[in-house]
Amino acid sequence: MVRQNRKFTPRQRTTRPLGIPLTSNQPPAQPLNPPIKRQDGWFIEPPLSSRLYQKSGLGMMQSDESIRLTNEEILFCHWHRHVPLPSENWFRDSVIENPDVVARSVVFDVARSGGEILIPVENLPEKWGIQTHSSTWAMRWNREQIFSKEPPVAHVRWAWNTDEIDWNEMLEWTNTVHSHGMLAEFFVIDEEMDVTMYLLSMAQPNGEQRLWNSFSDAERELLSELWSQRIQRGTGWYIPDKSTWPWGSLGVEHLSGRHLRHEEGQWIEHLLNDSSLPVELELFNDLMIRGVLLRPGFKFGSRWRVYDTPVGEAHAPWLVQPMESAPETWEAACLAVRLSEGVHKSWLCALPQDNKWHYLQMQRWLPGRI
């Protein structure tokens, strides 16, 4: 078999070498001074400090007009502002002291690549009065904003793709960020030093399907009669009489009958007998009373694909995965999101909290460029 010729050019990946700038701008005629070490960190002195701070929001301004820089800011200035590193061994020593500098420097560089302003939380002056979360790493401003006069638009966090996910904590963080009127952005870095950006938000899946309380007594009696004729097949049921089945969002028509999945049959049994709702049906019930239509999502790596209209009228907008079956690492979560967006659906993680269900949505995101 002859290998097919490929017509595209692969994306060139940035390697970010030390000692070589990434910017195409010409270096200044007079070489800049490197950051200097003081007791509480690394500093750049004026007049360069004022230019870096006023134009790019880099560093934390001090009373003597110098700026204190985080390690990731030092590397950013090195790559894009022609600022030398403090010493030949500075980066190696920084990694020994705190291995996170590797990921933070790459994420910081990528986050600012579109012109957005990213400021680490530790650099935020108290007088700005910006409310942050203990898990937030940095705040983001859009490129056209004046960061010193306008509030940020987003809280930013990062993780390695191999890191485990605490979905309850992610829900709490997202809700807190939204309560401040900001976006919740999460950046995932992989072992290739590539960064994928995600937006976390709360979704409200709702649809137009008939609800149980809309059925008349006669319709409920008909459902009860048809359900009594069920024949068990596998874990579900087959109802021979399909012509009078009144609830289009439950079961599928096949082989001249109506086929109900196990969860659908359990739920019908609960409604007809007015019995207590089994714990394992609580999420199913929450979705059904929202008027959506549920179909198995195993072909898409999720529990359900969720329709807001009858099947056949439009594609399912959502894929829903219960928290207990949700990805355990960011690598697996990224794969789930990639798969769902590849079939034009939104991926939702369903979590119970405070006696209600929450649907945390994760989508790929390019801040300032979408």
Q: Which of 105, 102, 147, 145 is nearest to 123 (CA)?
A: 147
Which string of b and e fits 91-120 if b means at least 16 CB within 10 Å? Answer: beebeeeeebbbbbbbbbbbbbeeebbbbb
| Domain regions of the chain by residue span | 210-281
Q: Given this model, what pLDDT does residue 263 score?
A: 96
Q: How far is CA 110 from CA 44, 79, 116, in A?
A: 23, 12, 10
CA angle 18, 100, 14 (to 5 degrees): 40
**In a structure prediction context, what are the per-residue pLDDT tens digits for the chain, which is 370 residues long?**
455 566 667 777 788 999 988 888 898 989 999 999 998 899 999 999 999 999 999 999 999 999 999 999 999 999 999 999 999 999 999 999 999 999 999 999 999 988 999 999 999 999 999 999 999 999 999 999 999 999 999 999 999 999 999 999 999 999 999 999 999 999 999 999 999 999 999 999 999 999 999 999 999 999 999 999 999 999 999 998 767 888 989 999 888 889 999 999 999 999 999 999 999 999 999 999 999 999 999 999 999 999 998 887 889 999 999 999 999 999 999 999 999 999 999 999 999 999 999 999 999 999 876 5
Distance between CA atoms of residues 196 and 141, nearest Å:
19
Distance between CA atoms of residues 158 and 146, nearest Å:
24
Q: Given this model, what pLDDT does residue 8 score?
A: 66
Which residues, in sequence order, are CB contacts of 338 under 8 Å at separation 6+? 364
Q: Given this model, what pLDDT does residue 59 score?
A: 97
Structure-block tokens of residue 244: 């009078």
- Across the beta sheet with 138-141, what order do the strands follow? 117-120, 138-141, 154-160, 183-189, 195-203, 356-364, 346-353, 318-322, 304-307, 293-296
For residue 69, count CB atoms less than 10 angstroms from its CB and return exposed for 0-12, middle for 13-18, buried for 19 or more. buried
**C-beta separation of 347 from 321 below 8 A:** yes
Structure-block tokens of residue 316: 């399912």
Matching residue, tokens 């004022």? 50
Helix axes 90-97, 100-111, angle to 10 degrees: 110
Residue 83, phi then psi, degrees to nearest 5 = -90, 125
Q: Given this model, what pLDDT does residue 356 score?
A: 96
- pTM tops 0.85: yes
